[in-house]
Amino acid sequence: MTAKHAEITLHVKYNGLEETFTGSAEDVWLMLNKFLDKLVPTFELANKLLLNVELQKLVDDCAGLIAFSKEGPNILAPRNRITDNETLLLWLLAAYVAHELGMTETDGLSKEELQAKLGKSGKITSTRLSELIKAGTVRRTTNEKFAITTLGIIQMQKEALERIRSKIAAQTSTP
């Protein structure tokens, strides 16, 4: 009695790429592995270039600088120790985190809301927002609000949050 090897067909769909393999189980397994060997390194390389925000790390990074109450997001950094741009970015970062945590319906704030939070004139607020948009750290949303971009979040995590913490620490250590 001889065992007849059944032919199998495997259809793989991944990120817009499709491939169909037909043959013995062993042949299909080898073809699939060859396909994945070519595919995975390409995606691993591409993923190294993608900007991704890890929410848990972001929340940890923001601890002590932003907080949430039943009224909404709050900035804990003293206004007189940080720049207008840092203030705007912190408020937009707080709005993003609040939205991601399901505390608010949107991740953006209107110019009027930001102006009130900044405590400056409409012209100064508009100028600062324009600077942040040009830098790629803020974007205007479809409903005329402003939101922090992924690049803005990453830059805050890599540079600005630590700089803000240093400014606050310098204030508390000064007699």
Domains of the chain in start order, with CATH, are 8-49 (no CATH), 55-173 (1.10.10.10)
CA distance 56 to 61: 9
pLDDT along the chain (175 residues), means of 10: 71 84 87 78 72 90 94 91 96 96 94 96 97 97 95 94 88 62
77 close to 65: Cβ distance less than 8 angstroms: yes
pTM: 0.72
What is the pLDDT, as a whole number, of residue 1? 43
